[in-house]
Amino acid sequence: MITTLLHLAEGRLVRVSGPLTVSVVDGQVLVLGAIFSRGSSFHVDEFKSYGVKALVDSSLKIYMSPGASVEEPQSGEEPLDLWVSRIDDVMRRGCSSLAVMGPTDAGKSSVAALAANRALLRGLRTGVVDADIGQADIGPPAFVSASIVEKPILSLRELRPLYQRFVGSISPQRFERRVAAALVESVLRLRAEEGVDFIVVDTDGWVQGVNAVEYKLEALRLSGIESIVVMGDRELYRLVDRMYGRYGCGVVYLPSPAQRRIRDRGARRILRSRQYRAVLSGSRPRRISMSDVSVQGSCLFAGTPLTPMELQEIGRILGVKVLAASVTGDALVAVVAEKPRGNSVARLESLYERQQVYLVEKGSVKGVLAAVVDERGREHPALVDDIDFATNTITLYTPFEGEVRGIVFGNVRLNEDYVEVGRPSRCLL
Ligand SMILES: Nc1ncnc2c1ncn2[C@@H]1O[C@H](COP(=O)(O)OP(=O)(O)OP(=O)(O)O)[C@@H](O)[C@H]1O
Ligand SMILES: [Mg+2]
């Protein structure tokens, strides 16, 4: 670790990239719209960079781990002042809610945190809804989470979820209705139950095409969000402005930082894995009879179960043991002990006159991400361990200890290290 002492004259700005910790020895600095005074300190993790601006002559002690850097930005590179002034302007105009939209890595979550910090400085009770299921910060990925901001934050990750809703996928495509419903519910609950004065919504980075944008705007409009900040994409800004510009405080454009830490797919996967681990590690196993719960998000459990004789018949065609199977309108789902060989699936399709036959290998139900639903309809993260088809019972890991009324299965599967494995599938089980 390298320790340096940095003097920053009033008005000067540096860009710091983690992992590092800054302690304010003297003076006062602005980071993400929050003010850090003498004696306080803040941490910047390995995947983050921020502008740090001296509000008065300041001295900073910086503890840098390998990979960290402190640089002087070129003129026009650092957006911090512009971000603060545009966000302050929305608040000055009396608007009490703001959503951030933009492509991945545009700076959405940073501006969401900044807006929360500015609202706190105004003494407003502030709530945040994290509707970015792919790069979730407050709760686990595949969940929409909401929280109250009690103190200045440098990342939404510092917040603990107060509410959470399971979407079941880390990508919003085909799951738009769950994201939208969860977003609307979270905003309304923050207002009704928590009495917040200001709400910030962070959204997913899927902004290609009108549908991607429109589903988010629909949810924001229905939850009464009064202004939208579009980050780093002028064409997107014009589209959102045409669709939302006349509501409330309208649509604001903010540039992304010209120089910033970018996370590649690997880094994003690691970040998601940390979030899964944070909520699921330490969970205890629970055995639940599938006939005692309502089930959503499963192809198998949605269908009419086949009889033992039919299972045998299918097993004969496939040449493998079939543990369970069901049919719905156009699909047949069968749980098999192992992968069958040859083109026996096609024979099954024609025999049962189903357009689709999904085979689920028994071993692959382990690690499927799910949520358990309690008697008040609240959802809690869970991970499938095993399903015993002979007794129709499921074993899953969840931190929730109360009565379970329902299970919602997702399309994400995790290994023992909480790392996503395989591709998301329409019918994981
Ligand atoms: N003022 C700044 N100067 C330089 N870099 C910054 C600044 N503010 C934020 N960043 C960095 O820009 C990167 C992207 O920011 P952020 O995580 O907010 O984007 P995002 O749009 O939420 O990304 P994602 O799609 O992963 O959710 C981060 O590394 C962040 O630390
Ligand atoms: Mg983000």
pLDDT tens digits for range 176-193: 999 999 999 999 999 999
Query: What local confidence, expressed as pLDDT, does residue 349 receive?
Result: 82
Query: What local confidence, expressed as pLDDT, does residue 263 receive?
Result: 86
Q: What is the pLDDT of residues 26-49, one digit of tens each?
A: 999 999 999 999 999 999 998 899
d(CA 99, CA 115) in angstroms, rounded, equals 10
pLDDT higher than 90, residue 426: no
pLDDT higher than 90, residue 284: yes
Token pair 């014009």 in the structure block, residue: 238
Nearest CA to ligand 1 atom 2: 50
| Ligand 1 pocket check for 132: Cβ under 6 Å | yes
**Mean pLDDT on 365-383:** 97
| Ligand 1 pocket check for 261: Cβ under 6 Å | yes
C-alpha of residue 337 to centroid of ligand 2, in Å: 40
d(CA 155, CA 36) in angstroms, rounded, equals 15
Q: What is the pLDDT of residues 287-300, one digit of tens each?
A: 999 999 999 999 99
Write down the pTM of the prediction.
0.95
Query: What local confidence, expressed as pLDDT, does residue 282 receive?
Result: 86
Domains of the chain plus CATH, in order, are 2-71 (2.60.120.1030), 80-277 (3.40.50.300), 281-429 (no CATH)
Query: What local confidence, expressed as pLDDT, does residue 355 receive?
Result: 76
Tell me whether the omega of the peptide bond preceding residue 66 falls within 30 degrees of 0, making it cis: no
Nearest alpha carbon to residue 337 among 302, 301, 364: 364
- What is the pairing mode between strands 284-289 and 163-166? unpaired
Nearest ligand, CA of residue 47? 1
Q: What percent of the chain has pLDDT over 70?
A: 100
**Mean pLDDT on 402-416:** 96
Tell me the pLDDT of the chain averaged across its residues: 94
Query: What local confidence, expressed as pLDDT, does residue 427 receive?
Result: 81
Q: At what angle do helices 344-352 and 308-318 cross, to 10 degrees?
A: 140
C-alpha of residue 263 to centroid of ligand 1, in Å: 9
| Ligand 1 pocket check for 49: Cβ under 6 Å | yes
Nearest alpha carbon to residue 283 among 390, 378, 369, 365: 369
Query: What local confidence, expressed as pLDDT, does residue 343 receive?
Result: 78
Contacts of 250-253 with C-beta under 8 Å, sequence gap 24+, read 251/227, 252/86, 252/89, 252/90, 252/227, 252/228, 253/229
**Mean pLDDT on 359-374:** 95
Q: How confident is the model at residue 1 (pLDDT cuts 50, 70, 90)?
A: confident
